[in-house]
Structure formats: C-alpha cells, structure tokens
Amino acid sequence: MAQARDAYEVLGVAKDASAEDIKKAYRALAREHHPDRTGGDDTKFKEVNAAHGVLGDEDKRKLYDEFGYSAFRPGFDAAQARAFGGSMRGRGGPGPGVDLDDLIKSMFGGGGAGRGSSFSFEFGQGGRGGFGGPGGFGGPGYSRGPRRGQDIKVVTQVSLIEAISGTEAAFMLPTGSKVKVRIPKGVRTGTTVRLRGKGSPGMDGGPAGDLLLDIEVLEHSLVHVDRDDLEMDVLLTFAESLRGGQITLPTPTGVVKVKIPPAAPSGTRMRLRGRGLPKGGKDTQQGDLYLVLRPTPPTSLGEDSEALVEQLEALYEAGPRDDLDFG
C-alpha cells in the first residue's frame, strides 16, 4: 500500500502558495495523469485529487498544516490532539502511517477517485459534515449523531459547441454509482451544476452530500468568446471581397446567409444579433455573433495572371503606403 505523500509536494507548490496557484497546479496535474489519457496514471491521479481535496479548502488546509492527513481519520478530534501533545504533523510531514487508499476511501466514503472521459474528482466546499467543518470530523461541533455525507466536486470539460447547445454527461462516481447529468445550454467556465443527494453517503443515518459539477469550457480554434458574444473570422476570396454579395456560412449557432458589402477591407466587422451565447445561461436573450472579414490571396498564380494583377492595381486611386511618414 502506498503511503500518502505530503500534499504540497504532490501538487508541486510551496507551503505558502495562494489558492489560485494551488488550483492551477491541480488542474494541470489532473489532466496530465487522468486515467483515460494516453500515459495517464490512476495512482497519481488519485493522489493529486486527495492532495487538492485538502489544500483546495481553506479550513481543511489549516487542519492539514497543523496535523497532517491524520486530521481526516474518522473520530479525529483536534482539541484532544492539541491537549495530548499538540500537533501530530511535526514540521512538513504528512502524518504518521497514513495509507493513500485508506485516505481516499475515508474522504470519499468508499471507492477510489473516479474515472470518466472528461471528468476528475475533487472535494466540495466544506459545509456541514465536511472534514474540519461544523459537524464534520475534527471540527468543534463533532458529535456521534447523524452526519451529512461529503460533497463531491466533479470537474468536467465541455466543448464550446456543447456549451452553446447543452449536452448530457454520464460517468461513474467514486461511490460506484452511475450518474447522468444534463448540462444546460449557455454554461460558462465556472458554472456549477448541483445534484442534491448524489454525493458521498451520510454516516449514522445522516443524509448524503451533493454532487457539484464544475464546468470548464474548452477554447475553440475558430471562435473567440467575449462574455455573451462570439467572434469568428470569415475567409473570403479576392473576388468575393471586391464584388461583395451573399454567402452561406456555418456558425456555432447554425448556418446563416450573409450579405458581404463590396470592397470591404480586411478586418471589417459584421454583427449578427442573437447569434451568440444565451445571456445569463437562459434562453430569453442571446448575445451577438461578430464576423470579421478576412480576404485571402490565391494560393498560386497562373501564366496569364499578370494582366489580371495589373487590372487590380489600376483599381487603387492611391498607393496604400503613400501617407506613411515618420518625419
């Protein structure tokens, strides 16, 4: 059985690291070691999730800094630990004899860190029944009565198209149960979907915790997101940019017909109202889609193209650099 390493060492951060630095380190390592990725490592993935489950919560981090992983064993009482010899953590150690699998089982209520095509698990925000929180293990309100189960946070990535139209995700929880979640359209990075009672089971007759689905929307190579609005480049031939006219264009929110103005310079922005993201994650109002016109040169010129180039040059009333002056 692997012994749990120091949480700061696992995430590769200093002991005075900010909450944002810890979150960034966790996300990078969770992606790197995810079991469904080529070269992923299930053991390291579990270890990273366990470390973030402690350091990602302010109250748990304080307990860990004082007592190590021992603070999260069932029945641990911080006040008694201080009374009988003070900190059990010592300086920088993870706590005596803490097994990684036992730690994950105790924190998730059974089972290991889950696996899913685009999911990683971490711990919810404290709360009643959370470790170190009121009514949780080691907290000042610890009792032997019914205790609420731990919240489970699931970090999942969705494509921009899935975020626009909504999608359904299915995955296995660390508790062994399968859950289907409907991700509403219009979600943004940082959106949290809560499923009540789908977290870790309660103890001594207490209610189950909640499942918190934390959404991260992946960037799209062709579309830029600006709050509720979308922006995309539209490539045009020289003929289309000179002559103008109507074109048919696929967009993230459906196929549209657009009238291009003649002789539109590169960078011209065209606004399509109501073709962006739902405002506030609702269907009542939509953001806008901005099209940025980008005329593109031909990939090659034939033998008879010189006369055509001369005709194009004759269309300019003045040279495009005539006004360039640094004097």
- Where do the structural domains in the chain lie, given as residue ranges? 7-217, 223-298
Q: Measured between alpha carbons, how far is 300 from 70 in angstroms, rounded to an integer?
A: 70
- CATH superfamily membership of 7-217: Urease metallochaperone UreE, N-terminal domain (2.60.260.20)
* Backbone dihedral angles phi then psi of residue 75, each to the nearest 5 degrees: 85, 0
Let me know if 281 is exposed, middle or buried by CB neighbors in 10 A (0-12, 13-18, 19+).
Answer: middle
User: What are φ and ψ of residue 57, in 5° steps?
Assistant: -120, 125
Cβ atoms of residues 53 and 60 within 8 Å: yes
- Residue identified by tokens 């310079």 is 265
For the domain made up of 223-298, give the CATH fold: HSP40/DNAj peptide-binding domain (2.60.260)
Q: Are strands 211-217 and 152-158 parallel, antiparallel or unpaired?
A: parallel
Q: How far, in Å, CA of 68 to CA of 60, rounded?
A: 10
The first and second tokens of residue 300, run together, are: 């090659």
pTM, whole model, 2 decimals? 0.48
Beta bridge partners of 168: 182
Q: In which region does residue 75 sit, left (phi positive, over 0), alpha (psi from -120 to 50) or beta (all else)?
A: left
The answer to whether the 7-217 and 223-298 domains have the same CATH topology is yes
> What is the spatial distance between Cα 123 and Cα 174, in angstroms, rounded to a whole number?
11
Ordered per-residue pLDDT tens for the chain, 327 residues: 456 788 899 899 999 999 989 988 988 888 888 776 667 777 888 888 888 888 988 888 888 888 887 777 766 677 766 665 544 444 344 554 555 555 555 554 444 443 333 455 444 433 333 333 333 334 444 455 788 888 877 778 888 888 888 888 777 766 667 778 888 888 888 888 888 887 777 888 888 888 888 888 888 888 888 888 889 898 888 888 888 888 888 888 888 898 998 888 888 899 998 888 877 555 567 888 899 998 887 777 777 777 777 777 777 776 666 776 776
